[in-house]
């Protein structure tokens, strides 16, 4: 796929040049191939697209937050990021994932800019569960059925200061769990003294016409702990067609966004600018592409 960044999609992040202290974070749901399901994306193609994104001056990023990463794709995507950046990278993945461990969360960092210092998954915090166990056979405890937020503490080698990156893919089919995940993220971020960034597929269904999101979105912004780096203009970030109907190429949820970058604490003061990356041929979705568009934010730490 040839990358063609439309002017209206990149204006917000590219009219201002990157200065020495600025950094970018790119978030992308790369769409996993679930067990016993038709192929939905080509992992090798996705890797090539990631290399192209990180090779381009206006989408080169120091932090890459990926969701729906198949375990077999982890090293493909790591190598793709390193090739695109021309630098060594480090990475961390989550242990919890989708049903039957079909996908995971992943954070890749440019080692010339950031160092990974600490990482863990937020299964539960302040009495709020962000995940549940599904029983297996016999007396086994079971496995975590959803994706717990992946919290990674990184140190900015330019400023020598730490910040937290939380990679998210909040629950899609379980509205109550998604809302609880958002409530937990609010409680957790409020206890941190460092800047915090939440990036990924939050499944908040923000509708452009009504300017409203679902209950998870409302829980995430309640109290003002988190601020959304709202793209301007708003651009649909997810394609959802009905794969059971041949040749039906109509997006079931037009003019809505599922992918977000939020900031908390000192990160609110970093003049964050976010946009959705539109590439030639990315939508309608196919088995050569992801059903999500990447989003990218530029921040200027103080």
Please, which residues bridge with residue 124 across strands?
Answer: 129
245 exposure class (CB count in 10 Å sphere: 0-12, 13-18, 19+): exposed
What is the token pair recorded at 286?
């196919």
Question: What does DSSP assign to residue 104?
Answer: E
Q: What pLDDT band is residue 18 in, cutting at 50, 70 and 90? A: low
Q: What is the average pLDDT score of the chain?
A: 87
Average pLDDT over residues 103-116: 96
Q: Quickly count: other Cβ atoms within 10 Å of residue 76's Cβ.
A: 17
188-221: buried (b, 16+ CB within 10 Å) or exposed (e) per residue? bbeebeebbbbbbbbbbbbbeeeeebbebbebbb
What is the tens place of the pLDDT at every residue in 117-174? 999 999 999 999 888 765 544 444 456 678 999 999 999 999 999 999 999 999 998 9
Using left for φ > 0, alpha for ψ between -120 and 50, and beta otherwise, residue 21 falls in alpha
Instruction: Tell me the per-residue pLDDT of 236-252, one tens digit each, with 9 for 90 and over.
Output: 999 987 655 555 577 87
Task: Select 7-17+25-299's CATH number: 1.10.3720.10, 1.20.1250.20, 3.60.10.10, 3.40.50.2300.
Answer: 3.60.10.10
Q: What pLDDT shows up at residue 9?
A: 36
Highest mean pLDDT among 16-20, 125-129, 132-136, 271-275: 271-275
Query: Domain spans of the chain?
Result: 7-17+25-299
Name the percent of the chain lying above pLDDT 70: 83
Q: Is residue 162 classed as helix, strand or coil in its secondary structure?
A: strand
């Amino acid at each position: 796929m040839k990358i063609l960044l439309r002017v209206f999609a990149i204006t917000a992040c590219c009219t201002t040049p990157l200065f020495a202290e600025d950094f970018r974070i790119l978030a992308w749901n790369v769409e996993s191939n679930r067990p016993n399901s038709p192929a939905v994306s080509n992992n090798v193609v996705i890797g090539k697209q990631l290399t192209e994104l990180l090779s381009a001056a206006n989408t080169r990023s120091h932090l890459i937050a990926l969701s729906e990463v198949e375990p077999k794709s982890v090293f493909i995507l790591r190598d793709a990021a390193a090739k695109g950046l021309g630098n060594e990278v480090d990475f961390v993945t989550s242990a919890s994932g989708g049903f039957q461990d079909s996908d995971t969360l992943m954070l890749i960092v440019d080692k010339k800019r950031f160092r990974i210092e600490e990482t863990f998954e937020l299964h539960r915090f302040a009495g709020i569960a962000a995940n549940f166990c599904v029983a297996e056979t016999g007396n086994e405890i079971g496995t975590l059925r959803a994706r717990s937020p992946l919290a990674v503490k990184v140190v900015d080698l330019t400023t020598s200061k730490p910040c937290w990156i939380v990679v998210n893919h909040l629950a899609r089919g379980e509205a109550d769990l998604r809302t609880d995940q958002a409530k937990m993220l609010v409680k957790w971020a409020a206890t941190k003294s460092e800047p915090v960034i939440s990036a990924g597929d939050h499944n908040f269904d923000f509708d452009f016409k009504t300017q409203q999101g679902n209950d998870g979105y409302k829980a995430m912004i309640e109290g003002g702990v988190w601020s959304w780096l709202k793209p301007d203009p708003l651009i649909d970030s997810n394609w959802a067609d009905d794969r059971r109907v041949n040749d039906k190429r109509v997006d079931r949820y037009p003019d809505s966004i599922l992918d977000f970058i939020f900031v908390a604490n000192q990160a609110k003061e970093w003049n964050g600018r976010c946009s959705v990356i539109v590439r030639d041929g990315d939508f309608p979705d196919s088995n050569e592409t992801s059903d999500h568009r990447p989003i990218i934010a530029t921040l200027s730490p103080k």
